[in-house]
Amino acid sequence: MTFTQTHALRGRGRLGIRLAAVALAGATVVTLAPAAAMAAAPAGTAGASGISGTSGAEARAGGVDAQAELQAFIADGSSTAAFAEVRQNGRRIWRGAAGTSDLTTGQPVRPDGRFRIGSVTKTFVSTVALQLVAEGKLRLDEPVERYLPGVVPNGGAISVRQLLNHTSGLYDYLEDPRFFYRDEASLREYVYGPSRRQDYRPEQLVAIGVAHAPYFAPGQGWKYSNTNYVLAGMLIGKLTGNSWQREVERRIVKPLHLDDTVFPRSETGVRGPHAHAYAKLQEGPADITRLNMTVADAAGNGISTPADLNRFHAALFGGKLLRPAEQAELTRTVPTGSGHSSYGLGVAQADFGCGPLWGHDGGLPGWGTLLFGTADGKRQVALSYNPYEGTDQSGLDAAVVNVAIKTLCGGAAAPAGAVADAAAGLSTLRGASAAGATH
């Protein structure tokens, strides 16, 4: 979930598998196969559809033309599709798409399609938690034990704030060996076996996480852990009597008219137009679009569009969802171990070479997401791409950062080293660890 595999759910700063060589948004390196064994993407992925929702003049006026950056995702076969949208002052100033949404039919990518957002879900969940703080139902510095008695060992020493900013030390359940694959055989099991359709209850996921020793004592470090946000979802349920999904829909989705944003339960498909997700096997691409997202729960179970995510970012950072006191808590950050990033409550602050920007990234097997924008909510970019799992994805971090720089930094060329530095910061934000990471 960026910032996760049931035999594949894990890795790339995402709640998802990371089948190649570097993680983006807080992931650890998980190598599936030597570079020599990684073939190019199947025929059909190299085409582009530079569909723009604005005229060329408007795009130029906004200083945005990121089509070449989208092309970079598919040029080396590491992704099958990519699309993005940029908004400024509530108006779309550019959108584009590259690649193929369905390798069977050759259908081009639609820039308004839906996609799995992975750990960007965390920002929705933290926003609801902060609304509960404003209502006096939740206190950030109260222990988890007060709200979920007996659920977390040492829960009396772990605060709600430490869950939301990843300083609890709790082990990330998605780093448990049952959630990653190690080779093509275990990837094949993920593709064809029952794990992608398995139901999980949040209590099960937490139990897997707390069965492992914590990374550190509460408050004594920073480590991205999806366990934290499964617990946050449970907190919302306990305090409201409703599922976290229902509260996110009631408090955020409906008021903002995010009509293409959903937080499914056990449904495995993606409704509406969308690009498919694929894994590379010896016999060719295998469609891995279907996934039971209960494995991610409140840490990464969301589906949206670029337009909806941008509207959400604009409302959140424009002060429409939180009072000033809770807005300040949202953006009170802790260091992540990278000089280029820090983490607040479900949002990250990152520097792409033009000053601090705010947002989150996300990932799942075959899906990657980036949502970042300015602190005042006036400008944002939402990006979706489909990593071709099983291929060398070591260049994807730089491709993601290049889109952010092009669209959020005025279109100017990045300073020397900015791309590498920002990519390293994103990797940290996903919670890199020696064993492999997630997000």
Q: With respect to residue 27, please indicate whether it lies within any of the assigned structural domains.
A: no
User: Exposed, middle or buried: residue 330 (CB in 10 Å: 0-12, 13-18, 19+)?
Assistant: buried
pLDDT at 393: 85
DSSP category for residue 214: P
Yes or no: say if 353 and 3 are a contact pair by the CB < 8 Å rule: no
Q: Does any domain span residue 8?
A: no
Please give the residue range of the domain that contains residue 187: 35-429
Query: Which pLDDT score is estimated for 168?
Result: 98
Do the domain assignments include residue 101?
yes
Residue 17 lies in a domain: no
| Domain of residue 238, CATH code | 3.40.710.10
Per the listing, tokens 């929702």 go with 53
Whether 261 maps to a domain, the answer reads yes
Burial class (CB in 10 A: 0-12, 13-18, 19+), 314: buried
In a domain, 146, yes or no: yes
Return the pLDDT at 178. 84
With residue 385 as reference, give the H or E element that holds it.
Answer: strand 379-387
CA atoms within 13 A on the CB side of 287: 13
Number of domains observed in the structure of the chain: 1
Asked whether 136 and 318 are in contact (CB, 8 A), the reply is no
Residue 7 maps to a domain: no
User: Is position 10 within any domain?
Assistant: no
Q: Which two tokens stand for residue 301?
A: 């179970």
Please tell me the pTM assigned to this model: 0.87
CB atoms under 10 Å from CB of 160, counted, come to 26
Please identify every residue annotated as catalytic: 119
Exposure string over 80-110, b if 16+ CB within 10 A, otherwise e:
bbbbbbbbbeeebbbbbbbbbbbbeeeebbb
Write out the H or E segment, with its range, that includes residue 348.
strand 348-351
In the chain (439 residues long), the average pLDDT of successive 10-residue segments reads 37 31 25 24 41 44 80 94 97 96 96 97 98 98 98 97 98 90 82 91 98 98 97 98 98 98 94 95 94 96 98 98 98 89 95 90 95 97 95 88 89 57 56 33
d(CA 37, CA 84): 31
Residues in a beta bridge with 370: 361, 383
